[in-house]
Each structure stands twice: as structure tokens, then as C-alpha cells.
Structure 1
Amino acid sequence: MADDKNNSPWGKPKGSGGKGSGKGNNPWGGQGGNGRPDRDRPKPGEGSADLDNVIQGFKSRVKRGGSGGGRGRFSGGGGGGDITIPKWIFVAAAVVLLLFTSIFTVQGNERAVVLRFGDYTRTAGPGLHFKLPPPIETKIVRNVTSQRETRVGVNSTAEALMLTGDENIVDINFTVLWVIKDLESYLFKVDQPDDLVKSAAESVVREVIGNNELDPIITTGRQELRGVVTEQLQVLLDEYEAGVLVNDVQFQKTDPPAEVEDDFLDVVNAQQEAETAVNEARAYRNTQVLEAEGTAARLIQEAEGYRDSVIANSEGEAERFRLIYQEYSQAPRVTRQRMYLETIEDIYGDADKIILDNEAGNGVVPYLPLDKLGKPAGAN
């Protein structure tokens, strides 16, 4: 056990009876016989300085630094030389730091608002700008051209189910595409502008859906609803001064609830079949009506044409008789003879008759080719 006590790195304690006791075994310097370190510690200038003197000397020299006529002076212990730093280096560093914290650049797709002690001062556009260093003035930079998306009805059933005007339920999810229009209003006039866009969009869509029936919402009315919702949402956000510009509202789904989707599809199919039958009947009716109208128009035109023809013929015949009467009044005998001959020609022009005059020959039997009388001229 005695050997264990003598294993101390500072040597054997005083009074242990071993060699080497006394000064020289303490790491802070020699100790007197009574164990007090101050008694045998070397005085300044005698031998090497201990750690306490080095620290104390460094602190005293730092306090005295800068008294050398425009230069900062740092001196180390142990007789080393002083290190002097010119004051202009500190001034230059302060200027660089001031410029680094006061000059800023805004990109073409960005806008920056400058705050002075937390209050809005101005909005900076693209380019190089200057502001006072923090904490006097600070800046907030946002991208105002990139399009942001707000989805409604995607992750929440409560958001997706909406009541239509004919008391049906429709499952809707849609996306609002928007950008920042006024950065000051976007940051300071509303709280949580992104959440405001979502809440306002859901409110407007519910109002529009409630004013329309289910059939146009899920079939052909999407485009019309899209324009109405976009316009009303922009008006509402402008009333709130949200600083937001709505570019578009896109409906991804407008379906009946999943629980009744099959039954609803059956109803829709039946309605479509009924509408198809009605359309076919209307087409047949239109065809028949058009054909009847065309036939009636044709008959009317034929009758009018016949009437005009009869009238024209009658007028022509009357005019012809009037002219004949004028000629007859001038030469009655010649006119009668001519009319008689023309009448006989009209009557017997196509008849197969042979007329024998009394002067053809007395007592002579004429030869009549009876086998050729009924044949046309030129036939064998």
C-alpha cells in the first residue's frame, strides 16, 4: 500500500519520509516546506514565468493595447515583440461589412419589400438597390412570376363533397393556379395568404355548385363553371386585398359520390338513351316535314305554272282570232277559203284516205295499191 501512495505524479508528499520530497515536485514550481506555492515561486524576471504570470501579463497588455499613436499593439509574454495593426484596417472592414449588408440585388422574376424597424417602407423591383444595414432596415424577397398551385378536395373528403342546386351531392377536386400580384398586400395585409386562397376558392366553388344542377356539372358544364369560378374568386381575393392574381381554376374531377356512382351511371345511361330516342324521333319528324313541305311547294309551283300556261295559251288564241278577224274583215271570201283548207289539212293530214275527183276519168277503174296504202312512205 505504501508504494501506491508514492505513485502520485507530483512526487511524494511532504513528511512521507521518502526522497525527493520538498520543492521541485509541484508542476507550478517549487514549494516550501509548508506546502505554500507563493513562498518559493520565482519572482518576475527570475527564471521562466509560470502559467498564472503568463495569463496575467497577457490580460494587462491587452488592456494597454492601442495607446501607441494610431496603432493597435498586442504583446506576448516571455519578452516577445509587439504586433501592431493600423486603425484603417478596422475602418475598411467596417465599410466592407456595411456595403455587404446594405447593397442587394433583385432578380427579374422577384420583388423585394424593405422594412425599417419592422414597418413597410417600399417595394424594390429588379435591379441593384441600397438599404440601411440591419437592424435598421431589412428586406424580404419573393418570386412573383412562378405559378403557384393550391389543391382543394384532394386529401379531404369534407372538402370534396359539395351540394348541388337540385339537392344532389357531387365529388369535386380542383386546382387553383395563381401568382403574386402585389407583394406588399401579400405579405402584410392578410394572414397566411396561401391558406386564404384555398379557403376562398372552396367557398366560391361551393356557391357556384349550389347554384347549378348536377347534370351540367358532371357533363358539359365544366368549362362554363371554370370561367365563373375564376372570375368570382378574383373578385373575392381583391376584396380581401390578398395581392394575388388567379390565372386559372382547373377541375380534375366532378363525379357523383363513390357509394352511388354505379346507380347514378345507370340513371345517366337511361337518360342518354331517352335523349337519343327523342333526337331520332325529331330527326325523322324533320325529314318527313321537309319532304312534305318540298312536295307541297312543288305541287304549288306546278299548279301555278299550269295556270300561267293556260292563261297564256288562252290569251294567245284570243289574239290569234282577233288577228284572223281583222284579215277576214278585209277579204272575207279568201279568208274563208284559207280557213277551210287549213281545217281540212288538220283533219285529214294523218288519215289514210284517197279522194277521187269526178274528173279523174269516166268509165276507167283506177288502180289502187291497197296493200301499200296503210304503210308509211318509203317502206317496202
Structure 2
Amino acid sequence: MPDNNSPWGSKPGGGKGPNGNGGNSPWGNGPKPTRPQRPNRDNVIEGFKNRTRTGGGGNGGGNGQMPDFKIGPFGPVAIVLGALVVFLLSTMVYTVDQTERALVMRFGDYERTSGPGLHFKFPNPVETLYRQETEIIRKDDIGGNDTKSLMLTGDENIVDIDFTVLWRINNLADYYFEIDDPEVAVKAVAESAMREVIGKNELQKIITTDRLAITTAVRDLMQTTLDEYKAGVRVVEVQLQKADAPDQGGVVAAFRDVVDAAQERETSINQAIAKQNTIVPEARGEAAQILQDAEAYRDRVIAEAQGEAERFNKIYEEYAKAPQVTRQRLYLETIEEVYAPAEKVILDSEGGQGVVPYLPLNQLNGSPRTAGGQ
């Protein structure tokens, strides 16, 4: 059997050369040179290809068949079993994000709810997993067309309503098992609750002043209804986007006039309140000042009256002790008060007899009199 492992290939004929090397000598058939030569690169590549085609001289020999590889004592069975074990282990470990919750079902029946973190379960198909984002806020816009927007009010008018519902999942098990289509149920409950609340209110208040009260009532009614259904949903907020009268026959323009009038009324009321807050304190201050002045006048008059009475009592006591002296004193004091502001001419009776006094009557008549001499 020729040696096919030579990097220089096999020589046709397979005979032995003169050097006994089967004719595969790299130096040809002549005598062996004194120093070896490097092999040709093309021969090396060709020898490598031949070796690959013949199976490398292993168990396949030179017949071109693939060798019989064996891995362990079980062969391919071990590979299949290992892959199965890895697959089962990969289905036993799972993680849940912060915004998610996971339902674990054992043979299709609900087993438990897993929160955020790393968890373990039985491998598939014993226990299966269902994940759902529960912490995100979902948004449903209701209205925008003739059938859902138009609602009947309590005073038998029609109002055009568009509103938005913000909600999230608070119980994933109820959300998944209790209702067939929770999102459709939330929209239906929202529309029903809005129609019920609108039917209990008047159109003017719905458009003007009671918008916040209406959204609060709708949210509470929705939450109560969804809790009865065990929907596993929490209503976060209801936002009233539009509340107008239907745009037919000039109704919108009329109600806008009503709204403007209501706003003007509120403005007038606010201005009146502001004026009241300015005038009333000033009036109260003036009234308090008048009362204080009156009290001061009263105290002064009373004090003067008490002083006069006390003076009279003192004079009376002195009069009782010396009536003649007291009368004379009172007479002199009265004369002093009466004649003090008047023009006076004093004549000396002892100045001389038979002398006619000169009185400047013109000067006396022409001199201005004081207020006390009138």
C-alpha cells in the first residue's frame, strides 16, 4: 500500500526508487544530493489536499469515508439529553421588570403572581408564564363621533362630550381571568358612567361651572363598576376634553352668549366684592372714630358738670358760714364778668364841684365793640 502521507504526493506506478523510498523522494530518482532541498510549495499543498480527501489515514483509511466519531459512552444520545436539560433549566429561571407583573400557571390553572425580581418555576410545560406591564398608564379617548359624543342632559338638552380616561392594571390575575377583553370593558364602562352623570346635570352647568365635579363623579362611578366586575383596573383620572352644545341651529352661539354673560356676572360680582372690601372697612373706621369722639365728649361734659356741681357745693358751704361776704363776692365777680369787655368811663366824684365832665361821645360811639359788649 503506497504511503499517501507524503507531502510531495505519490509517484505514478507506486514502484520503489533507487533509494528504496518508493519513488517519492523529493530529490528525484538520481543519486541523493549532499544537501537537502526545500520542498516545492505546490507539492505541499497538493499533498495536504490528498490527505484531506483520504480521511487523514485514520479509521476511514484511504477509501474517502468519514471517520466514526463517538462522544462519550452514549454517542449522539448524550448530545440530545444535554440539550434537553439545558432547555428545561432555561425555562425554570425568569426575571420580572419593575413595571411588570407575571402570572405563573400550572397546567393552565392560575398558581401565583410574581413581582419584580428574579424568580424560579417548574419547567415548561408544567408551569407557564404570562408577563404584562402593569405600572404604565393607559389612555382611552372616548367621543369624537356623533354616536358616542352626543348625550342627553338632565334638563332634556343635548350636549357634545369628548373625554379621556387614564387607567392602569392593579390586579393582573383579575385582569387576565375575570373579563374576556378588559380594554373594551373599560371603554364601555367609561361611556356608560359619563352618560349617567350627564343625565343628572343641567346643560348650562355642564358647559360652565361643573366640569370638575362631573369628571370626579365619572371616575368614582367607573371605579365602583369595575370593582364589581373584578376587572383588576384602577381609574387614575378622567379628563373632560370638550363639553359644548351641538352645532345645530345656532345653539352653540346662544350658549356662548350665556357663558359670556355668566363670566360678566362673575366679573361684576368680584368688582363689587372688592369695592365692598374697601368701603366697609373705611365706614367701620369712621364709625369707630365717631363713637370715640362721642365718648370723649360725654366724659368731658360729665367731668365739667361734676366740677361745677362741686364748685357750687363749695360756694354754698362758704355762704352758709358768711352769707354777707359771700353775696358781696359773688356780686363783684358778676360785675367783673359783665363789664370786663365793655367801654368804660370812670368819673371821680371828688374831683370838683360844678365841673361838667367832657365825654368824647363821637369817639365812644365810633369805637368798635367787642363781642362781649354787644
- Tell me by how many angstroms 1:318 deviates: 2.9
Return the letter of the residue paired with 1:231: D
Q: 1:320 aligns with which of 298, 311, 322?
A: 311
- Tell me by how many angstroms 1:283 deviates: 9.4
Could you say what secondary structure the match of 2:217 adopts? Answer: helix
Aligned ranges 1:150-189 → 2 under 5 Å: 150-154=140-144, 156-189=145-178
Return the letter of the residue paired with 1:258: D
Query: Which deviates the most, 287-296 or 225-234?
Result: 287-296
Q: 1:262 aligns with which of 245, 248, 253?
A: 253
- Tell me by how many angstroms 1:306 deviates: 6.4
In 1, are the aligned partners of 2:88 and 2:123 still within 8 Å (CA)? yes
Cα separation, partners in 2 of 1:253 and 1:120, compared to 1, 3 Å: same
Report the Cα distance in structure 2 between the residues aligned to 1:197 and 1:332, rounded to whole angstroms. 113
Q: TM-score, normalised by structure 1?
A: 0.67
Cα separation, partners in 2 of 1:339 and 1:266, compared to 1, 3 Å: same
What corresponds to 1:85 in structure 2?
71
Cα separation, partners in 2 of 1:226 and 1:359, compared to 1, 3 Å: farther
Q: Deviations over 1:17-56 (max 9, x none)?
A: xxxxxxxxxxxxxxxxxxxxxxxxxxxxxxxxxxxxxxxx
1:235 paired to 2:221: no
1:128 paired to 2:118: yes
1:192 paired to 2:181: yes
What corresponds to 1:106 in structure 2?
96
Report the Cα distance in structure 1 between the residues aligned to 2:154 and 2:285, rounded to whole angstroms. 46
Q: TM-score, normalised by structure 2?
A: 0.68
What corresponds to 2:22 in structure 1?
none
What corresponds to 1:54 in structure 2?
none
What corresponds to 2:346 in structure 1?
355
Report the Cα distance in structure 1 between the residues aligned to 2:273 and 2:68, rounded to whole angstroms. 110
In 1, are the aligned partners of 2:179 and 2:231 still within 8 Å (CA)? yes
What corresponds to 1:118 in structure 2?
108
In 1, are the aligned partners of 2:208 and 2:259 still within 8 Å (CA)? no
- Tell me by how many angstroms 1:354 deviates: 2.6
- Tell me by how many angstroms 1:331 deviates: 2.4
Q: Deviations over 1:64-112 (max 9, x none)?
A: xxxxxxxxxxxxx965421223354433322211122221110111100
Report the Cα distance in structure 1 between the residues aligned to 2:156 and 2:292, rounded to whole angstroms. 57
What corresponds to 2:211 in structure 1?
222
Report the Cα distance in structure 1 between the residues aligned to 2:283 and 2:223, rounded to whole angstroms. 55
Report the Cα distance in structure 2 between the residues aligned to 1:286 and 1:89, rounded to whole angstroms. 93
What corresponds to 1:97 in structure 2?
87
Cα separation, partners in 2 of 1:81 and 1:284, compared to 1, 3 Å: closer
Could you say what secondary structure the match of 1:354 adopts? Answer: coil
Could you say what secondary structure the match of 1:263 adopts? Answer: helix
- Where structure 2 has 5 or more consecutive residues not aligned to the other structure, the ranges are 1-62
Could you say what secondary structure the match of 1:133 adopts? Answer: coil
- Tell me by how many angstroms 1:308 deviates: 6.3
Could you say what secondary structure the match of 1:113 adopts? Answer: strand
Cα separation, partners in 2 of 1:110 and 1:161, compared to 1, 3 Å: same
In 2, are the aligned partners of 1:177 and 1:249 still within 8 Å (CA)? yes
Return the letter of the residue paired with 1:229: V
Could you say what secondary structure the match of 1:115 adopts? Answer: strand
What corresponds to 1:49 in structure 2?
none
Could you say what secondary structure the match of 1:211 adopts? Answer: coil
Report the Cα distance in structure 2 between the residues aligned to 1:301 and 1:190, rounded to whole angstroms. 78
Could you say what secondary structure the match of 1:258 adopts? Answer: coil
- Tell me by how many angstroms 1:266 deviates: 3.5
Cα separation, partners in 2 of 1:322 and 1:135, compared to 1, 3 Å: same
In 2, are the aligned partners of 1:178 and 1:246 still within 8 Å (CA)? yes
What corresponds to 1:335 in structure 2?
326
- Tell me by how many angstroms 1:142 deviates: 0.9
Cα separation, partners in 2 of 1:273 and 1:374, compared to 1, 3 Å: closer
Cα separation, partners in 2 of 1:340 and 1:264, compared to 1, 3 Å: same
- Tell me by how many angstroms 1:212 deviates: 1.2
- Tell me by how many angstroms 1:312 deviates: 5.1
Report the Cα distance in structure 1 between the residues aligned to 2:265 and 2:115, rounded to whole angstroms. 61
- Tell me by how many angstroms 1:204 deviates: 1.3
Report the Cα distance in structure 2 between the residues aligned to 1:361 and 1:144, rounded to whole angstroms. 136
In 2, are the aligned partners of 1:328 and 1:335 still within 8 Å (CA)? yes
In 2, are the aligned partners of 1:114 and 1:120 still within 8 Å (CA)? yes
The alignment-based identity, stated in percent, is: 52
Please report the RMSD computed on the Cα atoms of aligned residues, expressed in angstroms. 3.9
Report the Cα distance in structure 1 between the residues aligned to 2:352 and 2:368, rounded to whole angstroms. 25
Return the letter of the residue paired with 2:318: E
What corresponds to 1:146 in structure 2?
136
- Tell me by how many angstroms 1:174 deviates: 0.8
What corresponds to 2:233 in structure 1?
244
Report the Cα distance in structure 2 between the residues aligned to 1:359 and 1:192, rounded to whole angstroms. 140
Cα separation, partners in 2 of 1:360 and 1:329, compared to 1, 3 Å: farther
Cα separation, partners in 2 of 1:313 and 1:159, compared to 1, 3 Å: same
- Tell me by how many angstroms 1:267 deviates: 4.4
Report the Cα distance in structure 1 between the residues aligned to 2:291 and 2:197, rounded to whole angstroms. 55
Q: Deviations over 1:229-270 (max 9, x none)?
A: 222221221111111111111111111111121233244445
In 1, are the aligned partners of 2:342 and 2:369 still within 8 Å (CA)? no
Cα separation, partners in 2 of 1:279 and 1:111, compared to 1, 3 Å: closer
- Where structure 1 has 5 or more consecutive residues not aligned to the other structure, the ranges are 1-76
